[in-house]
């Protein structure tokens, strides 16, 4: 038994704070996803926000076993939100990554270690693998961030920005007292700093050319060109992940399960993007050979989160099944098992997404105070996609 073990009430309160901190950290990472320029860092962020929500799920499950049916009740909710919203005020992606990973995630990892050292290994045994997994995932994320910052923040100006923001984040988190330190007045933001979220235009790094318009669909009879086109379009699904990231950040007051489902959805779109990139490489291409299409993210940001979510789940994904089922059958007929399997996994994922949309759109209507019905909102979303989509295949599916 540890020499300075804490009582069960104090330990349970720590687990409550930790699950909420993981959830808020995932939402912040999602909100900044469009603002991270470096391509590989975007993919890492999509994975990490999903990992963080899985950690939160496991902590909430353990809290349920500890007879905490409502783990968000009694939290220092206003303080948590204040700290997160100040961390959101980084002005550059390298600053943000330093603050979130080396600051926020670093504090969480220290809190997990502290929990392990202050609980009873027998009495509280079921908590230990949950906490251990959270700590190990957090440590791996921090190692990734350290390596990324070493390669990305190379100029003296960038290193200054990172160092200053990392110091601010550490002082902010320590002053909050959320993870066992003595509470103190929260530090002010650096001069001229304010929140850039939600990000209006999705950012890409210098390897890519940017275009607003999508890619015209070749004739299905040109098998090589059509296969390249389909997987190039998959590689552009980062826009969908970025739209979902903005929704995750902006929408408050939903049941916790919404953030979990939307986080998985966001990560799925990152995976589909990576799937397209990997298949293009197998076909002899590198992604940066092609322009990055970012226009659909930009125009969707002109709408509220409810309608952005409706556009993705009830319109774009729902209406894409006909094309995807058709191309899947085509690949099977052609003997292109690699492409067929990739599309099949996408169809499986998208089926989940459409079901989540049907589940959560009514709740989003309630939370947002929307007076229209779900059907009326979906009809608006359908018109908006038809009028504004810059992806030719999406416009074509509206006309059918």
Confidence at residue 311, expressed as pLDDT on a 0 to 100 scale: 98
Mean pLDDT of the region 371-387 = 97
Domains recognised in the chain with CATH numbers: 8-176 (1.20.1260), 210-399 (1.20.1260.10)
**pLDDT classification of 4: cutoffs 50, 70, 90:** low
Residue 1 has pLDDT above 50, yes or no: no
How far, CA to CA in Å, does 190 sit from each of 89, 109, 149, 178? Answer: 10, 26, 21, 22
Residue 307 has pLDDT above 80, yes or no: yes
Prediction pTM value: 0.96
Confidence at residue 397, expressed as pLDDT on a 0 to 100 scale: 67
Mean pLDDT of the region 226-236 = 98
Residue 151 has pLDDT above 50, yes or no: yes
Q: Cα 15 vs. chain centroid, distance in angstroms?
A: 23
Mean pLDDT of the region 310-330 = 98
**pLDDT classification of 399: cutoffs 50, 70, 90:** low
What pLDDT digit, counting tens, does each position of 165-196 carry? 999 999 999 999 999 878 999 999 999 999 99
Least confident window among 6-15, 226-235, 345-354: 6-15
Residue 220 has pLDDT above 50, yes or no: yes
Question: Among all chains, which residue has been given the structure tokens 């059509």?
Answer: 226
Residue 398 has pLDDT above 80, yes or no: no
Are the C-beta atoms of 279 and 254 separated by less than 8 Å? no
Confidence at residue 180, expressed as pLDDT on a 0 to 100 scale: 85
Q: Distance between CA atoms of 20 and 39, rounded to whole angstroms?
A: 28
Confidence at residue 58, expressed as pLDDT on a 0 to 100 scale: 99
Q: Distance between CA atoms of 31 and 199, rounded to whole angstroms?
A: 8
Long-range contacts of 212-217 (CB under 8 A, 24+ apart): 212/293, 212/294, 212/295, 212/298, 212/390, 213/293, 213/295, 213/390, 214/293, 214/295, 214/296, 214/389, 214/390, 214/391, 214/392, 214/393, 214/394, 215/293, 215/391, 215/392, 216/392, 217/392, 217/393, 217/396
| Helix/strand/coil for 292 | strand
Mean pLDDT of the region 113-140 = 98
Least confident window among 2-11, 91-100, 281-290: 2-11
Residue 371 preceded by cis peptide, ω within 30: no
Mean pLDDT of the region 292-318 = 98
- The residue among 235, 266, 233, 251 whose CA lies nearest residue 352 is 266
For 15-39, letters b (16+ CB in 10 Å) and e give bbbbbbbbbbbbbbbbbbbbbbbbb
Mean pLDDT of the region 42-50 = 99
Mean pLDDT of the region 204-209 = 97
Query: DSSP secondary structure string, 141-174?
Result: HHHHHHHHHHHH--SHHHHHHHHHHHHHHHHHHH
| Helix locations, the chain, DSSP H | 8-32, 39-65, 77-87, 93-97, 106-118, 127-152, 156-176, 223-235, 238-250, 256-282, 295-300, 305-310, 317-319, 321-334, 337-368, 374-388, 392-399
Residue 115 has pLDDT above 70, yes or no: yes
Confidence at residue 207, expressed as pLDDT on a 0 to 100 scale: 96
Residue 11 has pLDDT above 50, yes or no: yes
Mean pLDDT of the region 211-230 = 95
Q: What percent of the chain has pLDDT over 70?
A: 98
Mean pLDDT of the region 292-302 = 97
Confidence at residue 186, expressed as pLDDT on a 0 to 100 scale: 97
What pLDDT digit, counting tens, does each position of 52-74 carry? 999 999 999 999 999 999 999 99
Mean pLDDT of the chain: 96
- The residue among 233, 231, 227, 230 whose CA lies nearest residue 213 is 233
Confidence at residue 194, expressed as pLDDT on a 0 to 100 scale: 97
């Amino acid at each position: 038994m540890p020499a300075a073990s804490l009582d069960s009430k104090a330990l349970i309160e720590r687990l409550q704070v930790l699950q909420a901190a993981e959830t808020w950290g995932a939402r912040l990472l999602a909100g900044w996803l469009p603002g991270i320029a470096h391509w590989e860092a975007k993919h890492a962020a999509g994975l990490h926000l999903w990992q963080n929500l899985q950690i939160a799920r496991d902590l909430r499950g353990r809290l349920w076993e500890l007879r905490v049916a409502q783990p968000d009740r009694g939290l220092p909710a206003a303080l948590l939100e204040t700290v997160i919203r100040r961390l959101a005020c980084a002005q550059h992606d390298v600053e943000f990554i330093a603050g979130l990973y080396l600051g926020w995630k670093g504090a969480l990892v220290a809190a997990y270690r502290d929990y392990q050292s202050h609980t009873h290994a027998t009495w509280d045994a079921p908590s230990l693998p949950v906490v251990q997994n959270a700590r190990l995932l957090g440590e791996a994320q921090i190692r990734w961030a350290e390596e990324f910052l070493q390669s990305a923040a190379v100029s003296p100006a960038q290193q200054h920005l990172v160092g200053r923001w990392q110091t601010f984040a550490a002082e902010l988190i320590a002053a909050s007292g959320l993870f066992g330190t003595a509470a103190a007045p929260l530090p002010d933001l650096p001069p001229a700093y304010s929140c850039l979220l939600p990000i209006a235009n999705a950012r890409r790094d210098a390897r890519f050319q940017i275009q607003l318009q999508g890619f015209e669909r070749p004739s299905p009879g040109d098998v090589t060109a059509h296969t390249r086109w389909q997987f190039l379009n998959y590689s552009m699904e980062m826009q969908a992940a970025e739209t979902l990231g903005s929704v995750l950040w902006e929408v408050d007051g939903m049941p916790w399960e919404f953030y979990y489902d939307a986080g998985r959805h966001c990560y799925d779109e990152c995976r589909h993007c990576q799937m397209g990139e990997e298949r293009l490489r197998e076909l002899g291409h590198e992604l940066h050979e092609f322009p990055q299409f970012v226009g659909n993210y930009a125009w969707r940001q002109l709408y509220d989160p409810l309608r952005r979510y409706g556009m993705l789940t009830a319109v774009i994904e729902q209406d894409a099944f006909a094309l995807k089922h058709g191309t899947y059958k085509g690949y099977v007929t052609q003997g292109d098992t690699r492409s067929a399997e990739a599309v099949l996994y996408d169809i499986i994922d998208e089926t989940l997404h459409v079901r989540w949309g049907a589940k959560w759109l009514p709740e989003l209507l309630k939370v947002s105070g929307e007076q229209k019905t779900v059907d009326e909102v979906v009809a608006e979303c359908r018109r908006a996609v038809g009028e504004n989509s810059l992806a030719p295949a999406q416009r074509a599916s509206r006309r059918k």
